Chain A
Amino acid sequence: MCGIIGVIDRTRARMDGSSIKKALSLMNERGSGEGAGYVAYGIYPDYPDCYAIHVFFDNLVEPKSKVDEVLHKWGRIVHQEEIPTYEQPCLKREHIPWRYFYKPYTEFIVGSNNPAEDIVKHLVMTVNSTIPGALIFSSGINLGVFKAAGWPEDVADFYRIEDYKGYIWLAHNRYPTNTPGWWGGAHPFNLLDWAVVHNGEITSYGTNRRYVESNGYKCTMSTDTEVVAYLFDLLGRRHGLPSEMVVEAMAPPFWDEIDMLPEKEQKLKRTLRLTYGPALMNGPFAIVVATSKGIVGFTDRIKLRPLVVGENGSRLYISSEESAIRVMDPDVKTIYMPRAGEPVIGRFVQ
Chain B
Amino acid sequence: MSLGSVPLKYKISIDRDQCMKCMRCVDNCSYGVYRVEDDRILIDSRRCTACHRCISMCPRDAIMLQEKPVDYRSHPLWTAEAREDIINQARTGKIILAGMGNAMDYPIIFDRLVLDACQVTNPSIDPLREPMELRTYLGKKPAKLEFTKSDKGDIELKTELAPNLKLETPIMIGHMSYGAISLNAQLSLAKAVAKTGTFMGTGEGGMHESLYPYQKNMIVQVASGRFGVDINYLERGAAIEIKIGQGAKPGIGGHLPGEKVCSDVSCTRMIPLGSDAISPAPHHDIYSIEDLAQLVRSLKEATEWKKPIFVKIAAVHNVAAIAAGIARSSADAVVIDGFRGGTGAAPKVFRDNVGIPIEAAVAAVDQKLNDQGIRNEVSVIASGGIRNSADLAKSIALGADAVYIGTASLIALGCRVCGNCYRGLCPWGIATQRPDLVDRIDTDVGSQNVANLIHAWTLELSELMGAAGINSIESLRGNRERLRGYMLDEGMLNVLKVDPVGA
Contacts and interface: CB of A to CB of B under 8 A. Distances in A.
Interface string B377-398: 0000000000000000000010
Given A177-B121, A255-B135, A275-B159, A204 B470 contact: yes
Interface of B: 118, 121-123, 125, 130-131, 133, 135, 137, 141-145, 155, 157, 159, 161, 164, 370-373, 375-376, 397, 468-472, 474-482
A207 B396 CA distance: 11
Interface centre among B135, B476, B479 (most CB of A within 10 A): B479
A236 to B, nearest CB: 12
B480 A278 contact: no
Contact of B468 (A203, A209, A211, A214): A203
Nearest to A282: B475
B478 A282 contact: no
A302 B475 CA distance: 15
B92 to A, nearest CB: 51
Interface in A182-217: 200-201, 203-207, 209-211, 213-216
Nearest to B134: A255
Given A214-B371, A282-B469, A302-B131, A207 B144 contact: no
A13 to B, nearest CB: 31
Which 9 pairs between the two chains have the least Cβ-Cβ distance? A206-B481, A204-B475, A206-B479, A277-B474, A282-B475, A203-B469, A201-B122, A239-B144, A207-B479
Contacts of B397: 206
A256 B159 contact: no
6 contacts: A201-B469, A204-B479, A206-B482, A255-B133, A274-B137, A274-B161
A277 B145 contact: no
Given A206-B479, A255-B133, A275-B142, A280 B474 contact: yes
Contacts of A204: 470, 474-476, 479
A107 B146 CA distance: 27
A239 B481 contact: no
A191 B40 CA distance: 85
A255 B470 CA distance: 15
Given A200-B122, A255-B135, A302-B125, A207 B141 contact: no
Interface residues of A, number: 40
Interface of A: 177, 200-201, 203-207, 209-211, 213-216, 239, 241-242, 245, 254-256, 267-268, 270-272, 274-278, 280-284, 301-302, 304
B376 A277 contact: yes
A280 B479 CA distance: 12
B402 to A, nearest CB: 13
Contacts of A242: 155
A211 B376 contact: yes
B471 A207 contact: no
A275 B145 contact: yes
Interface centre among A205, A209, A210, A256 (most CB of B within 10 A): A210
